[in-house]
Structure 1
Amino acid sequence: MIRAASAHAVSRPLGALLLASAAACAPLGPNFSEPDIAWLAAWQPQLYGQVSWDPQADNISQWWRRFGDPVLDDLLAQARFENPDLRIAGLRILESRALLGIATGLKYPQLQQINASGAYVSEYIDGGPSDGHRDYRTGDAAFDIQWEMDFWGRFRRGIESADAAYFASVANQRDVQVLLMAQVAILYYGYKTTLQRIDIARDNVALQERSLEITRKLFESGQESELDLQQARTQYLATLASIPDLELDLVRQRNALCALLGRAPGDLPELANVDGRLPAPGQILLREMPANLLLRRPDVRRAAWQAASQSAQVGVALTDLYPAISLFGTVGWSGNSLDSVGDVSRLVAGPALTWNIFSYGRLENNVRVQDARLQQALESFRATVFGAAREIDDAASRIDQTGARQNILDESLVSAERSLEIATRQYQEGYADFQRVLDAQAAVFSQSDLVALNRGEHVAAIIDLYTSLGGGWREVTIDDVIPPEVREQMRERTDWGDLLEAPLPLPPDGGQAP
């Protein structure tokens, strides 16, 4: 380490020169620019005829309103304010703002320190003119200041990195919103699908119970064999046994909704009057092309900001290879109670240079570490874009396939119901045995259950498409991010200044929900 200081007379012009140089010197390291995704400009997903374009269409930030379900609207509104994961994401925004404040503070003198001490001294002196004992008091006080000039851009890059990290935390909170809205909606409609399946199972239990009673009476009267009775009983019990599993699914879905709403497992009063009917959404309308929506997805924006933050860290690491140039100063006083020794006041000021000239292997490898992390972040950004495109195509294909399957299943159910009607009539007229009736009943139950399952899958696929397009987030205020009662707890513990009240700065790369 090399350290040098000059006299006060020399420090003034040198300090002025350093200030001018620092202002003029561009920060070291790469200037980040978002990677160009070449294939995206020409990417026009087929979307399998599920999407139409309408410049007047509503945006998809509240896509669930297209289902017209007030219960779902209420559940989603509650989830926004009570979900623990969303609160954590909001608190990370607050954390990143505080970290940005730390980085910004480094622009100013990094050392501002007051040192003060006092002592009582009792001395015994043997020999000499001061032979004997004396008591006296001493005191010292000094104010030290040191300001490392941002000559190579260390602190500017640090602020740049912290700024990008803050915007990444905002994008992350938006991404949590997107996922939360989708999770609540999928669970809610999964719950309604399960209710529908339970109703179907109970209807079939009632039908098969009637058949069982008929075969029991016929067997007891000697008109039918015990085989028909036992077959009817087997089918009835098998259908009845399916209901507990469905009711268990209902409990699991309800408890999962409770967790998303920040509640303990138990009943949800909001679901008390919910039935098994599912929405029949019409054509999906978008006012922007998927490629544009994709780049505004919160997870894509988060990946871009994380790469920008890491890019600035390369510059921070590079500055360690160069000397740190500082201005320092001390104002001090020392005194004592002895008459023979006067008080002393002092003023010390000058420049200082610190340079780790014998640590090049360590410092250069740190630059390489940061650059490797930057490349990882860039690859992560590209991977996120690829994943987003895949999710859009998968969701649209799923809508198409479940829609096509629904038509087939509906026709199949009509045929199964007709088969049951014919088999029952032929059995009553003596033209068919009871096994034909049992088979027809089993087919009706199976097809009815498949129809309900596929309807639920179709709704879930529509939700997935809106989610893959980045719909479901909105701009938030500090009140949305951290509820007032939580902020009050934090304020009681710690002095947060105005951070718990100040508006949240918005990222410059997309301030509007899609």
Structure 2
Amino acid sequence: MKIVKSLLPLTMLLLSGCVVGPDYRTPEAALPVKFSESAAKSAGDVTLNRWWENYHDKRLNALVEQGMNQNLTVLQAMERITEAQANVVLAGSGAWPQISANANATVAGQDGSLLRAQQSGVPGITGPSHTQSKTLAASGSASWLLDLFGQYRRARESANANLDAVYNDVNVARVAYLNDLTTAYISARFYQESLALDRLNLASRRETLKLTEDIRAAGAASSLDVVQAEGLVNQTLAEIPPLEIGFYQAANRIATLLGVPASTVTPSLLAGSGQPMPRYSAKAGIPADLIRNRPDIRRAERTLAAATAQIGVAESQLYPSLTLDGTINASRVISAATGNLTGWSFGPNLIIPIFTGGALQAQVDIANSQAKQQYFAWKQTVLNAVEEVESAQAALIRDYQTVAALRRLVASNEEALSLARESYRGGASTILDVLDAERNVANSRLTLASSIRTLATDYAALNVAIGGGSSIDTPVPTQAPRVAQVVGKAPVVKDNGSAPFTQ
């Protein structure tokens, strides 16, 4: 008891030791006040914004909800949360006493006969011989590595940061799912619209072919006019199969994103619907919004925090480690002579690294380098996010202008086709004028459909770029409380291109 009483204050003193390595500080980046083509007004928290509902397409809304927790990529990311939570427990387990016990029982004996030969020539006397003993043994051991320099505290800190990063991985996967599903649905409806337009064009060109044949029967048109009209009909027929292929490929992609066979999705899509087009413009906000709304930026920041904590783990290996070890052994032998034996031991075990060939310092250098790499990765992620928003916003603004102009162009071409046919019937123009008008109408209609597809896709791209909808249906973090920050010099993290860590 005297030993325990004398060691207890020393133990408590050692347990309150320092934590080596830099404390983490959230990095900073120099960002513009606003995006190039928007006002300097924050969009707030957009992570719960259901932006796809602005297409006003009930079928799209149903597909998004169906696949929100069925997408296999999202499910994989969610399962990694369980792994990361276990890693938090594993990282901190070494700081607790490790206790183990074992027990065994054995039975030993001898069986045989004993021959006693008499030197005097008396006949030998034989008799049975039998011996047996039982041994009961038990032992226990305890070991406690005192975390003098914060090795396990830094490891747990790193594991907690990695757990945060994994939660953001779920959001990254969900945003990717939303973008892929919406884009695939937009493509499917585009191909259906293009097929409908091609069939409309086919009917119009067949009407022109019939008109040409009627005029030739009246002697006012040549066989060449008829052949040219037939060629345009066949050209339209050849354009239909590739559009059907595009539709089925988009439908198959939707099924894969939902995690179901294509046969369960395609029939409902074949019913057809208009092209989805957003009714409202997206608010890009300001660049600073991206830091809190983009899950990939948050993931990169948490990965940086985990790498920073690993510097402390590596540095702790440079210093002595102290382990308190204790064992107790007890045994009982049951035989002709019965006895008990008990032994125990207790004492500290001090390990001092003296010469390791530079291996321990190399581990510190590696950890520092990895942390700097993560800082640059975070900075690159931020810059990429700004670029994506700028590009998507610039495209979306001009997409609306393009669609409006193409609508007017289609109306003009349709009127020109009507006038060309009337003129051809009256003999004031040739069949080439009608065929040219047919081509212009067909091309402008398909171009308009393609531009609507581009507008709808860019609308999705802008919302994804600002992190819209990333936190919908995402599980709430349930990790253990983080270890409080302890004494240590914080790393300097500035957006000046220099190394973000100091010792």
Calculate the TM-score normalised by the size of structure 2: 0.85
- Whether the 8 Å CA contact 1:172–1:298 is kept in 2: the answer is yes
CA distance in structure 2 between the partners assigned to 1:184 and 1:146 by the alignment: 54
Residue 354 of structure 1: CA displacement?
2.3
Of 423, 428, 449, the match for 2:425: 428
**Is 1:463 aligned to residue 460 of structure 2?**
yes
Specify the alignment match of 1:97 in structure 2. Answer: 85
Specify the alignment match of 2:26 in structure 1. Answer: 34
Specify the alignment match of 1:325 in structure 2. Answer: 322
Residue 206 of structure 1: CA displacement?
0.3
Residue 43 of structure 1: CA displacement?
3.4
- Whether the 8 Å CA contact 2:57–2:276 is kept in 1: the answer is no
**Is 1:383 aligned to residue 380 of structure 2?**
yes
Q: What residue identity is the alignment partner of 2:282?
A: I
Specify the alignment match of 1:304 in structure 2. Answer: 301
- Describe the superposition over 1:275-310 as per-residue Cα deviations: whole angstroms up to 9, x where unpaired: 124334234346x53422344311100000011111
**Is 1:114 aligned to residue 101 of structure 2?**
yes
**Is 1:141 aligned to residue 138 of structure 2?**
yes
**Cα gap change, 1:60/1:289 in structure 2, threshold over 3 Å: closer, same or farther?**
farther
Q: Give 3-state SS (helix, strand or coil) of 1:81's partner.
A: coil
CA distance in structure 2 between the partners assigned to 1:460 and 1:329 by the alignment: 67
**Cα gap change, 1:359/1:435 in structure 2, threshold over 3 Å: closer, same or farther?**
same
Residue 46 of structure 1: CA displacement?
1.9
- Describe the superposition over 1:23-52 as per-residue Cα deviations: whole angstroms up to 9, x where unpaired: 1x2211111112210x21x331123x5x79
Residue 171 of structure 1: CA displacement?
0.8
Q: Give 3-state SS (helix, strand or coil) of 2:323's partner.
A: strand
Q: Give 3-state SS (helix, strand or coil) of 2:342's partner.
A: strand
**Is 1:238 aligned to residue 226 of structure 2?**
no
- Whether the 8 Å CA contact 1:139–1:335 is kept in 2: the answer is yes
Residue 67 of structure 1: CA displacement?
2.7
Specify the alignment match of 1:127 in structure 2. Answer: none
CA distance in structure 1 between the partners assigned to 2:449 and 2:202 by the alignment: 17
- Whether the 8 Å CA contact 2:40–2:286 is kept in 1: the answer is no
Q: What residue identity is the alignment partner of 1:89?
A: A
Of 57, 77, 83, the match for 2:65: 77
Specify the alignment match of 1:409 in structure 2. Answer: 406
Q: What residue identity is the alignment partner of 2:154?
A: R
Residue 11 of structure 1: CA displacement?
6.2
CA distance in structure 1 between the partners assigned to 2:289 and 2:40 by the alignment: 15
- Whether the 8 Å CA contact 2:46–2:469 is kept in 1: the answer is no
Of 278, 282, 285, the match for 1:284: 282
- Describe the superposition over 1:236-280 as per-residue Cα deviations: whole angstroms up to 9, x where unpaired: 111121111111111111111111111112252553544124334
* 1:184-333 matched pairs, under 5 angstroms: 184-219=181-216, 222-268=219-265, 270-271=268-269, 273-285=271-283, 289-333=286-330
**Is 1:171 aligned to residue 168 of structure 2?**
yes
| Number of corresponding residues | 465
Residue 370 of structure 1: CA displacement?
1.6
Gaps spanning 5+ residues in structure 2: where? 112-128, 483-503
Specify the alignment match of 1:17 in structure 2. Answer: 10
- Whether the 8 Å CA contact 2:327–2:346 is kept in 1: the answer is yes
**Cα gap change, 1:314/1:53 in structure 2, threshold over 3 Å: closer, same or farther?**
closer
Residue 378 of structure 1: CA displacement?
0.8
Specify the alignment match of 2:352 in structure 1. Answer: 355
**Is 1:504 aligned to residue 494 of structure 2?**
no
Specify the alignment match of 1:64 in structure 2. Answer: 52
Gaps spanning 5+ residues in structure 1: where? 1-7, 125-131, 482-502, 509-514
Residue 473 of structure 1: CA displacement?
2.2
- Whether the 8 Å CA contact 2:104–2:136 is kept in 1: the answer is yes
Q: Give 3-state SS (helix, strand or coil) of 2:191's partner.
A: helix
Q: Which has the larger radius of gyration?
A: 2
Between stretches 200-209 and 272-281, larger displacement belongs to 272-281
Residue 133 of structure 1: CA displacement?
8.5
**Cα gap change, 1:341/1:373 in structure 2, threshold over 3 Å: closer, same or farther?**
same
- Whether the 8 Å CA contact 1:294–1:388 is kept in 2: the answer is no
CA distance in structure 2 between the partners assigned to 1:190 and 1:343 by the alignment: 83
Q: Give 3-state SS (helix, strand or coil) of 2:339's partner.
A: coil
Q: Give 3-state SS (helix, strand or coil) of 1:16's partner.
A: helix
Residue 340 of structure 1: CA displacement?
4.7
Q: What residue identity is the alignment partner of 2:238?
A: A
Alignment RMSD (CA, Å): 2.8
CA distance in structure 2 between the partners assigned to 1:331 and 1:137 by the alignment: 21
CA distance in structure 2 between the partners assigned to 1:207 and 1:475 by the alignment: 47
- Whether the 8 Å CA contact 1:311–1:374 is kept in 2: the answer is yes
Residue 338 of structure 1: CA displacement?
4.2
**Cα gap change, 1:280/1:477 in structure 2, threshold over 3 Å: closer, same or farther?**
closer
- Describe the superposition over 1:334-382 as per-residue Cα deviations: whole angstroms up to 9, x where unpaired: 2322455621112321111123433242221122112211111111100
CA distance in structure 2 between the partners assigned to 1:293 and 1:135 by the alignment: 80
- Whether the 8 Å CA contact 2:35–2:286 is kept in 1: the answer is no
CA distance in structure 2 between the partners assigned to 1:56 and 1:306 by the alignment: 24
CA distance in structure 2 between the partners assigned to 1:381 and 1:57 by the alignment: 21
CA distance in structure 1 between the partners assigned to 2:480 and 2:387 by the alignment: 28
Residue 181 of structure 1: CA displacement?
1.6
- Describe the superposition over 1:55-84 as per-residue Cα deviations: whole angstroms up to 9, x where unpaired: 899876211223332222211111112111
CA distance in structure 2 between the partners assigned to 1:408 and 1:441 by the alignment: 19
Calculate the TM-score normalised by the size of structure 1: 0.83
Residue 174 of structure 1: CA displacement?
1.2
CA distance in structure 1 between the partners assigned to 2:240 and 2:40 by the alignment: 40
- Whether the 8 Å CA contact 1:96–1:166 is kept in 2: the answer is yes
- Whether the 8 Å CA contact 2:54–2:280 is kept in 1: the answer is no
